[in-house]
């Protein structure tokens, strides 16, 4: 399968090109970006044979059947719709769009066109998160009471740009990281947050957008989720904890793009280190997506997963903006 990469992004360069090329018989054959000089240089550095600023030109290539989108957030909708209209499978970065309606339209269009649509939520592809989900599902900690996600990090200079100063492009820590935490909670617990309370702030990096947020979510089962995300915490580390009636799971350094971190299970029998697969998160995501295009299973995170994580993030931002508890509105999401 040949791929078109839309957006000459850091994540594409550092992770996704390698993830595609790790799959047998797959390669990236087009790079698309708005800057002629940037896309030409980017394609040359990454040995991609075709570079263009015209998405339509790339989509006209009948030998390319999949599109990966990692442009700025406000461009996702139009680019995904164009790719779907051309009959291409689409793997889109989170958040899928700036609003729920556009995200739903993307998913519905893909369904109607008979193409696979996935959201590139990499964390659920990690060996650590899959091991944690298995511990919960197998009853090792009993009924889940709470989940705490600590995803307050320091955004490196090469990733700052629009994320810290451009609200119109979808900047801010909530669309950037809260969507990930929402997907993690949904993936681990198998349920969707039903209401949220939140606060957000600009704590030193954000220019017209929030760079830090904290929120608490109520789950249908009665479990509570506490989510903390930031761009400004240089030394905080990251991780998550899941606490149940008969045990707790402590995962350190697992909210990352790399296959690293540790998972420990604590019960009345003591403390147990859990073995986790060290595979590439992105290669796993591309592998799952590829199999789905062949009729084998589903993407690691499909379009509805992307819509729901966006919906939670939008509710968190509205709760922080208004100071009110917000119900998470999944109407029309199925």
Degrees (nearest 5) of the Cα angle 207, 203, 93?
60
Q: Could you read off the pLDDT of 269-280 as tens digits, one per residue?
A: 999 999 999 999
**Quick one: pLDDT at residue 220?**
98
Whole domain around residue 318: which residue ranges?
123-278+310-327
Task: Flag whether pLDDT at 164 surpasses 80.
Answer: yes
Q: Is residue 88 part of a domain?
A: yes
**Quick one: pLDDT at residue 162?**
79
The pLDDT > 90 percentage for the chain reads: 92
**Quick one: pLDDT at residue 334?**
79
* 209 and 169 fall within a common domain: yes
* 175 and 268 fall within a common domain: yes
Q: Is residue 332 part of a domain?
A: no
* 168 and 198 fall within a common domain: yes
* 44 and 93 fall within a common domain: yes
* 172 and 317 fall within a common domain: yes
* 78 and 142 fall within a common domain: no
Cβ-based neighbours of 119, under 8 Å, separated by 6 or more:
91, 92, 93, 94, 96, 183, 299, 301, 302, 303, 305, 306, 309
**Quick one: pLDDT at residue 157?**
82
How would residue 153 be classed by pLDDT, with cut points 50, 70 and 90? very high
Task: Flag whether pLDDT at 155 surpasses 90.
Answer: no
**Quick one: pLDDT at residue 243?**
98
How would residue 169 be classed by pLDDT, with cut points 50, 70 and 90? confident
Tokens of 205: 């990096």
How would residue 207 be classed by pLDDT, with cut points 50, 70 and 90? confident
Q: Could you read off the pLDDT of 73-99 as tens digits, one per residue?
A: 999 999 999 999 999 999 999 999 999
**Quick one: pLDDT at residue 90?**
98
The pLDDT > 70 percentage for the chain reads: 100
* 167 and 67 fall within a common domain: no
**Quick one: pLDDT at residue 268?**
97
Q: Is residue 334 part of a domain?
A: no
Q: Is residue 27 part of a domain?
A: yes
* 51 and 165 fall within a common domain: no
Q: Is residue 154 part of a domain?
A: yes
Task: Flag whether pLDDT at 158 surpasses 80.
Answer: no
* 292 and 318 fall within a common domain: no
Domain count, the chain: 2
The residue whose two tokens read 């659920």 is 124
Q: Could you read off the pLDDT of 3-54 as tens digits, one per residue?
A: 999 999 999 999 999 999 999 999 999 999 999 999 999 999 999 999 999 9
What is the domain-level CATH number for residue 15? 3.40.50.720
Average pLDDT in the 110-124 region? 98
Q: Is residue 333 part of a domain?
A: no
**Quick one: pLDDT at residue 122?**
98
Q: Could you read off the pLDDT of 220-244 as tens digits, one per residue?
A: 999 999 999 999 999 999 999 999 9
**Quick one: pLDDT at residue 72?**
93
Tokens of 278: 């060290």
Query: How far apart (Å, rounded) are the C-alpha atoms in residues 125 and 282?
Result: 7
Could you tell me the end-to-end alpha-carbon distance of the chain, in angstroms, rounded to an integer? 29
- Indicate the pTM of the whole model: 0.95
Cβ-based neighbours of 185, under 8 Å, separated by 6 or more:
147, 149, 193, 217, 219, 225, 227
Task: Flag whether pLDDT at 168 surpasses 90.
Answer: no
Q: Is residue 272 part of a domain?
A: yes
* 110 and 29 fall within a common domain: yes
How would residue 281 be classed by pLDDT, with cut points 50, 70 and 90? very high
What is the domain-level CATH number for residue 137? 3.30.360.10
* 48 and 146 fall within a common domain: no
Q: Is residue 127 part of a domain?
A: yes
**Quick one: pLDDT at residue 294?**
97
Degrees (nearest 5) of the Cα angle 234, 235, 240?
105
| CA 7, chain centre distance (Å) | 16
* 213 and 318 fall within a common domain: yes
């Amino acid at each position: 399968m040949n791929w078109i990469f839309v957006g000459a992004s850091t994540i594409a360069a550092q992770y996704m090109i390698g993830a595609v090329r790790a799959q047998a018989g797959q390669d990236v054959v087009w790079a698309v970006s708005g800057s002629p000089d940037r896309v030409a240089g980017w394609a040359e550095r990454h040995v991609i044979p075709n570079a263009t600023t015209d998405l339509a030109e790339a989509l006209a290539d009948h030998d390319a059947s999949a599109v990966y989108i990692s442009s700025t957030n406000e461009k996702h909708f139009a680019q995904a719709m164009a790719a779907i209209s051309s009959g291409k499978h689409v793997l889109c970065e989170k958040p899928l769009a700036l609003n729920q309606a556009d995200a739903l339209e993307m998913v519905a269009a893909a369904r109607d066109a008979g193409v696979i649509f996935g959201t590139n939520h990499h964390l659920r592809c990690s060996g650590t998160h899959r091991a944690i989900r298995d511990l919960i599902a197998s009853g090792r900690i009993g009924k889940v009471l709470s989940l705490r996600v600590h995803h307050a990090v320091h955004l490196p200079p090469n990733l700052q740009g629009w994320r810290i100063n451009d609200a119109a492009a979808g900047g801010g820590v909530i669309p950037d990281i809260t969507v990930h935490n929402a997907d993690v909670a949904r993936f681990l617990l198998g349920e969707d947050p039903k209401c949220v309370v939140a606060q957000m702030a600009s704590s030193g990096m954000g220019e017209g957008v929030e760079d830090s947020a904290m929120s608490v979510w109520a789950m249908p089962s009665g479990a509570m989720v506490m989510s903390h995300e930031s761009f400004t915490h240089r030394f905080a580390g990251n991780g998550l904890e899941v606490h149940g009636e008969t045990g707790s799971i402590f995962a350190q350094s697992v909210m990352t793009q790399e296959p690293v971190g540790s998972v420990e299970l604590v019960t009345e029998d003591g403390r147990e280190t859990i073995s986790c697969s060290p595979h590439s998160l992105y290669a796993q995501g591309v592998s799952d997506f590829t199999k789905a295009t062949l009729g084998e299973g589903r993407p690691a995170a499909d379009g509805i997963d992307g819509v729901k994580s966006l919906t939670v993030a939008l509710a968190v931002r509205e709760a922080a903006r208004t100071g009110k508890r917000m119900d998470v509105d999944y109407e029309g999401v199925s």
